[in-house]
Amino acid sequence: MKHPALPYLTALTASLALAGCVNLAPTYTTPVAPIPATVGADAPADPVQATAPALEQAQSLTWVQTPALQQVLALALSHNRDLKIAWANIEKARAQYGVQRADLLPTITASGQGSRNRTSADLTTSGRAATTSQFSAQIGFTSYELDLWGRVRNLNEVALEQFWQTAVNQRSVEITLLADVANAWLTLAADQARLQLAQDTLTSRRKAFELTQRIHALGATSGLVLAQNQTTVDSARADVASFASQVERDRNALQLLVGGPLPAALLPQALDGTLPPTAALLDLPTPLPSSLLLVRPDIVAAEHSLRGATANIGAARAALFPSISLTASAGSASSALSGLFEGGNGTWSFLPQVRLPIFDGGRNQANVRVAEANQQLALAQYEKTVQIAFREVADALAERAHWAERLDAQSSLVEATQKALMLSEARFKSGVDNYLSVLDAQRSLYAAQQTQISLYLAEQANRITLYKVLGGG
């Protein structure tokens, strides 16, 4: 004979089995590491490719003159991990704003419930076992707050300002990334120029040393001069090895910013001042209006923070007043599933609730003071951000005003030291001076040429700094 509880046990077992089979979490897969299979300077790797939007954005940067650098910037916009983190933070802030905004509207839910109970004969007044059933279906909302004092609206405003602040911070990350990539690209170019200078110097000093060896073999010069020549060769060899290592580190740093290996065609040439400027500076009015600084992402972000802190005061003040929340539902109930939606079985409930703060130990008043203090902190931070921006722009413009004179003076110095070296070598060969004067002239020329490369790099970096401190404009 079939047991009367068997159908219910079967339904329960099926429900439990179904609950164990459903998993809404996405399947995890280990990410592919964005690095070559081997580590080393000659490790093979597939270069990364730029997306079309990133390439279009890089090409719109009018201050960049070199197509190769534009391509590198496009790669960074496509693959840099810091930028991807910033984009993910924007999506997170947008979702959090959506969660907060949902509180402005009631949350409506539908529910259905069914129960069937058997009471044993010992527990009934009739002395016979009884089975009862109850089914219900309802739709309604729970604890919907009437926003009489603007608490929910102000909290929604706070979430909105946080979202905009996150979006502006992403723009700040993007501008910083572009400036960092351009500086890293130029640093690599400058170190390649230093390496080329060290290699050329080593070649010329080796030739001079070989000539001195032959002269010494003929007895026309002393062993001291030969040893002094040897020191110049060894010093140049050490510089070549040092700059070669530095160039590799510069390339690694650039690839880290880009987010992957770079094609060889996009690597820079040596920065020696003979090529067109990598960063082109547009003509700027003098003096610059201070209102231009208000478009800087850090200033805009600070203003959004101030707006959010101001709105938070309203939310804290609203907690001092009574709050009203509503809970209501309507539906149908029946002892039989077939009669659930028949006439006369309707049900409803309405439960308003008023909450009036009477005594909380001063908690709400303290929360208002905290919100007001946070607003003052945000105001001070906004003003400080504006002042820092003003100083950065003023410093960059002040440095810009004297670059032409500095570069011209250094070029003249290099020419003068080259003449001094030629004269020192001539006087040594004629026997007027000893070889120490030649060594001193060689060191002076080498130092002046190295300084010239550093000035080329610094002048280009100043152009990039202007782009950055003006907020990417």
Which residue type does 109 have?
T
CA distance 377 to 375: 5
10: confidence class by pLDDT, cuts 50, 70, 90: low
> What CATH number does the domain containing 446 carry?
1.20.1600.10
In a domain, 156, yes or no: yes
Q: Helices in 2-66 by DSSP H: which ranges?
A: 6-21, 52-59
CA distance 64 to 281: 9
In a domain, 42, yes or no: no
Strand segments (E) across 169-306: none
- Residue of higher predicted confidence among 84 and 434: 84
339: confidence class by pLDDT, cuts 50, 70, 90: confident
CA distance 89 to 70: 26
Mean pLDDT over 189-213 rounds to 90
pLDDT given for residue 1 in this prediction: 46
Model confidence at 41: pLDDT above 70: no
Instruction: Give me 441's structure tokens.
Output: 């002239």
Mean pLDDT over 275-301 rounds to 79
CA distance 189 to 183: 10
CA distance 406 to 385: 31
pLDDT above 90 covers a percentage of the chain that reads 38
pLDDT averaged over every residue in the chain: 85
Nearest to 352 by CA among 325, 374, 381: 325
417: confidence class by pLDDT, cuts 50, 70, 90: very high
Model confidence at 19: pLDDT above 60: no
Q: How many CA atoms lie within 13 A of 412 on its CB side?
A: 6
Q: Helices in 24-150 by DSSP H: which ranges?
A: 52-59, 67-79, 81-101
In a domain, 428, yes or no: yes
∠ CA 117-123-128, rounded to 5°: 80
Q: How many CA atoms lie within 13 A of 311 on its CB side?
A: 19
Model confidence at 197: pLDDT above 70: yes
In a domain, 355, yes or no: no
Mean pLDDT over 274-301 rounds to 78
Nearest to 469 by CA among 384, 401, 396, 398: 396
In a domain, 7, yes or no: no
- Residue of higher predicted confidence among 177 and 229: 177
pLDDT given for residue 115 in this prediction: 87
Nearest to 182 by CA among 309, 88, 115, 268: 268
In a domain, 36, yes or no: no
Query: Dihedral angle at the C-alpha atoms of 360, 364, 369, 374, nearest 10 degrees?
Result: 130
Q: How many domains does the chain have?
A: 1
pLDDT given for residue 100 in this prediction: 85
With residues binned 3-state (H G I as helix, E B as strand, rest as coil), the percentages for the chain, rounded to 5, are 65, 10, 25
165: confidence class by pLDDT, cuts 50, 70, 90: very high
Mean pLDDT over 220-244 rounds to 88
404: confidence class by pLDDT, cuts 50, 70, 90: confident
50: confidence class by pLDDT, cuts 50, 70, 90: confident
166: confidence class by pLDDT, cuts 50, 70, 90: very high
Mean pLDDT over 105-114 rounds to 86
In a domain, 38, yes or no: no
Which residue type does 441 have?
A
Domain enclosing residue 399, as ranges: 49-79+148-321+361-469
Which of 24-38, 144-158, 171-185, 288-302 shows the lowest per-residue confidence on average (mean pLDDT)?
24-38
3-state secondary structure of 403: helix
Dihedral-angle region of residue 150 (phi above 0 means left; psi in -120 to 50 means alpha; beta otherwise): left
pLDDT given for residue 195 in this prediction: 94
Tens digits of residue pLDDT in 142-154? 888 888 888 889 9
Tens digits of residue pLDDT in 419-430? 998 998 888 888
In a domain, 464, yes or no: yes
